[in-house]
Amino acid sequence: MASVQGGMALAGVVTCVARRFECAIEASWKAAQAVLSAVEGLTATSPKIAIRASHGIRWIDAQTTDALLVAIDDSNLTSRT
The whole-angstrom separation of Cα 69 and Cα 47 is 8
Q: What is the pLDDT of residue 10?
A: 74
CB 55 within 8 A of CB 62: yes
* pLDDT at res. 1: 47
- What is the domain-level CATH number for residue 8? 1.20.120.330
pLDDT under 70: residue ranges of the chain = 1-8, 79-81
| 3-class secondary structure, 71 | helix
Cα–Cα distance measured from residue 12 to residue 17, given in angstroms and rounded to the nearest whole number: 9
Total number of domains in the chain: 1
Give the range of the structural domain holding residue 46, as residue numbers without chain letter: 2-79
